[in-house]
Amino acid sequence: MPTKPWWPLPCAELTDGALTLLPWPRVASLPGVREDVWAASTDPRAVEFTTIPSPYTEAMLDAYLAEPGPDCVRWALVVGGRYAGSIELRRETDAASFGYNTAPWARGRGLMTRAVRAVAAHAFAHGAPRLVIRALPGNAASRHVAEANGFTYAGERGDNVEYVKTAR
């Protein structure tokens, strides 16, 4: 029996009241977004625990601020009108995997836990069969986000640990 196609996933604005997930095509409308994305992308913790290249260049920033392409849906986390990080889903064969980064000034407030909850609900509502979070073993913050959102530890995959959540 054919399943409902779920990709491309609509990139709608999502909110839980205090946190807004702004569709990436509108990210340029945020005041100071270039400076905030630069700070988030060059922060030592982000470089240590993500795939952000180092050294990071202006050309990389420009490319990141552009549309992410057909196999990726990205949102900006916005708090008080300011860029607080980004979250994206990347299409895989039978799933979508998360990528996310919280701006240094916004860490420790539970924002990414709330953002993953909102994006996961959105993806499942549109028919996504399975979502995946991968993190370096030492990335306690990302592992906490996965566990707080009910993702199940699925073991190691390459250099990462993997958490999965399936549609109910």
pLDDT in the model for residue 13: 98
pLDDT in the model for residue 4: 67
Residue-wise pLDDT for 127-159, tens only, equals 999 999 999 999 999 999 999 999 999 999 999
Provide the 3-class DSSP secondary structure of residue 38.
Answer: helix
pTM for the full predicted model: 0.94
CA dist., res. 26 & res. 22, Å (int): 7
E strands within 68-151? 72-79, 82-91, 96-102, 130-135
Domain residue spans of the chain:
14-124
pLDDT in the model for residue 18: 87
**C-alpha distance from residue 6 to each of 121, 129, 130, 147 (Å):** 13, 9, 11, 24
Distance between alpha carbon 70 and the CA centroid of its chain, in Å?
Answer: 16
Are the C-beta atoms of 101 and 41 separated by less than 8 Å? yes
Domain 14-124 has CATH 3.40.630.30: yes
**Angle (CA) 100 103 107, round 5°:** 90
Give the pair of three-digit tokens for residue 138.
């030492």
Low-confidence ranges of the chain (pLDDT < 70): 1-4
pLDDT in the model for residue 11: 94
- DSSP 8-state assignment for residue 50: S
